[in-house]
Amino acid sequence: MEFVLSCKGSAEPCEVTFDHDNGRYMLRKADRSGEFFNTPQQLVEWIEENWTIKDFYDPEEFIKMVNEIKNNL
């Protein structure tokens, strides 16, 4: 799964990749830097510790992404 979220800190969207089949768990932040994770749990933990609904223009989009990832752990 890939998610593209419109974030308030950048003209470029934040992106989250949750690819169980290929073991790819990564994201691109508002500052265009990235984070790579060894497990999907690490990805979820990072999101919960570093991003909030207020960081994004569409709160529902953020909630949907988090729920979909958690449901596929």
The pLDDT tens digits of the residues spanning 6-43 come to: 999 888 999 999 999 999 999 999 999 999 999 999 99
- 67 CB contacts (<8 Å, ≥6 apart)? none
pLDDT at 5 over 90: yes
How far is the C-alpha of 19 from the C-alpha of 7, rounded, in Å?
22
What is the Rg, in whole angstroms, of the alpha carbon atoms belonging to the chain?
A: 11
How far is the C-alpha of 73 from the C-alpha of 68, rounded, in Å?
9
pTM as predicted: 0.91
pLDDT at 4 over 90: yes
